[in-house]
């Protein structure tokens, strides 16, 4: 089982593109962002995506 999981509140996403600019796990799809991989063992640049999001709609949760 993967260690971390992304929870993206797509309703809150304003489509600014910041996450996709800093992390290649994020792509823009229309006016919303989408993660490519949702579960992973290493946070990597997904942490940058979290930190760059102006509306805090990306969370990384640790799987138990």
- The Cα–Cα gap between 4 and 15 comes to 23
Q: Is 8 exposed, middle or buried (0-12, 13-18, 19+ CB in 10 A)?
A: buried
Contact between 22 and ligand SF4 per CB under 6 A: no
Contact between 14 and ligand SF4 per CB under 6 A: yes
Contact between 58 and ligand SF4 per CB under 6 A: yes
Taking the complex as a whole, how short is the minimal distance between the CB of residue 18 and ligand SF4, in angstroms? 4
In the complex, the residues that contact ligand SF4 under the rule CB under 6 A are 13-19, 33, 52-53, 55, 57-58
């Amino acid at each position: 089982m993967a260690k971390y999981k992304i929870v993206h509140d797509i309703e809150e996403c304003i489509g600014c593109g910041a996450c996709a600019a800093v992390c290649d796990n994020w792509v823009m799809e229309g006016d919303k962002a989408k993660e490519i991989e949702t579960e992973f063992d290493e946070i990597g640049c997904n942490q940058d995506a979290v930190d760059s999001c102006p509306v805090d709609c990306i969370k990384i949760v640790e799987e138990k």
